[in-house]
Amino acid sequence: MKIAIIGTGYVGLVTGAGLADFGWNVTCVDLDSNKIERLKEGKLPIYEPGLDSIVEKNLKEKRLSFTNKASEAVKDSDVIFITVGTPSKSDGSTDLTHVFEAAKMVADSLNGNKLVVVKSTVPVGTTRQVYKFIHEKSHNIFDVAFNPEFLREGSAVHDFFHPDRVIIGAETSRAVEILKAIYRPLYLIQTPFLFTNLETAELIKYAANSFLAMKIAFINEIADLCEKVGADVHDVSRALGLDGRIGPKFLHPGPGYGGSCFPKDTKSFAVTGREYGTPLTLVEATIRANEMHKNRMVRKIERMLEGKLKSKIIGILGLAFKPETDDMRESPTITIIENLLEKGAIIKAYDPRAMENAKGIFGEKIEYCDNEYEVAENSNILVITTEWNQFRALNLEKIKSLMKEPKIADLRNVLDSKMAKDYGFIYEGVGRR
């Protein structure tokens, strides 16, 4: 079976390389010629642990190829996955421009009875619209399916090979059989498969992401209350997580959720709820709670600097929205840094992987450092915003000797608060006194 992947970003590249590793012949397409040329040489446009080796292996074994010519890839494939981006519009709804551009590329070259699989996260009803759109343009008989992606950046390769479940939204037995065949290696390791109609599969993706975002927003609100009453959010979290009905994951306090999915997907889901006259009030509250929480983080830093941010040097450790990725899309650090800059602070920052992406966002507005200790030099406060492992083992003695004032706002609770205080730091975490 030959497979084309349209959109070679985080999802398209991981899916393409993973399917090639299953033994399929995969062509990944992207409009970005620069990215395609680099990929042909095995150079990855993103940082994702383990991805380089499966790309290299499958390139060498000639099961994986890259092109910017969608037409040839579509004509030459039996199955076409659409994995382009679905960003937010200013009103929170989903911008489907890329999806319909990709659908047009498919329609223009569709020859024969193929399967078109939408994998991009799209609002309920979109896959059916994509089907109609391609059908009207190409007059071809073909099948369609929606197959949501649940990978987590930072562990995307692992998640591709070991998903919790595979959701297949399809309404013809042919589409179901083809997708079952494609994912057969997962079937063999007893991954649960769920077969639903198109709308159900589309809704599952948004419901899952909104629920996870809600868990994070919930524990962050509890963290705030913990600070006020003198409780420890980690104990609360652990106790909650030990309840089998709740589960331990996504109950870690931090500076607020971010990334390429939760912010845009919660907003889009809320819009869908309003459109259908079924307000998703918990999702709406989650979005508000997360915004408020990010602002609370700014106030925490401000308070630790006695309310004076003007000309204060703030050292930021971590820019990516989470560790093990270079992705800065909607990172809570962006909101925090922009707020601090507005209030006149001077920002120095370091992230092990996201420096290039950060330069694209902040330009000359902040100073970029080569490591943690350069950030600490002359800073009035050090703010830990991403829980990269290397920040857990900071040489606190050295850090203290370099800083103007010994202050740490640990927005990920990566340091031992007692140890930080023993070194003489004024230390604040999240949700712990």
Interacting residue ranges for ligand NAD, rule: CB under 6 A: 6-12, 29-32, 70, 83-86, 98, 101-102, 105, 120-121, 149, 151, 153, 260-261
CA 163 to chain centre: 16
Instruction: Point out which residues pair with 315 in neighbouring strands.
Output: 348, 382
| Residue 277: burial class (beta carbons within 10 Å; 0-12, 13-18, 19+) | exposed
Q: What is the CA radius of gyration of the chain?
A: 23
Closer CB to ligand NAD, residue 74 or residue 240? 74
**For residues 275 and 252, what is the distance between their CA atoms, to the nearest angstrom?**
33
Closer CB to ligand NAD, residue 194 or residue 419? 194
* Least distance CB 173 / ligand NAD (angstroms): 26
* Least distance CB 298 / ligand NAD (angstroms): 26
* Least distance CB 404 / ligand NAD (angstroms): 38
Closer CB to ligand NAD, residue 108 or residue 377? 108
Q: Are strands 381-384 and 407-410 parallel, antiparallel or unpaired?
A: parallel
Closer CB to ligand NAD, residue 268 or residue 380? 268
* Least distance CB 341 / ligand NAD (angstroms): 26
Tallying the residues shown for the chain, one arrives at 433
**For residues 387 and 410, what is the distance between their CA atoms, to the nearest angstrom?**
9
10 Å Cβ neighbour count for 343?
Answer: 17
Measured between alpha carbons, how far is residue 208 from residues 202, 272, 292, 351 in Å? 10, 15, 22, 29
* Least distance CB 83 / ligand NAD (angstroms): 5
Tell me, yes or no, if 261 is annotated catalytic: yes
* Least distance CB 7 / ligand NAD (angstroms): 3
Closer CB to ligand NAD, residue 106 or residue 223? 106
**Residue from 28, 226, 261, 369 carrying the catalytic annotation:** 261
* Least distance CB 8 / ligand NAD (angstroms): 5
Residue whose C-alpha is closest to residue 417's, from 402, 401, 430, 399: 430
Which amino acid belongs to residue 235?
D
Measured between alpha carbons, how far is residue 174 from residues 79, 145, 216, 264 in Å? 12, 10, 39, 33
Closer CB to ligand NAD, residue 6 or residue 157? 6
Terminal CA-CA length for the chain: 58
277's CB contacts (< 8 A; 6+ apart) are none
**For residues 56 and 79, what is the distance between their CA atoms, to the nearest angstrom?**
23
| Residue 13: burial class (beta carbons within 10 Å; 0-12, 13-18, 19+) | buried
Q: What are the residue ranges of helices labelled H in 189-277?
A: 198-229, 233-241, 262-275
Closer CB to ligand NAD, residue 259 or residue 431? 259
Position of minimal CB gap to ligand NAD: 9
| Active site members | 261
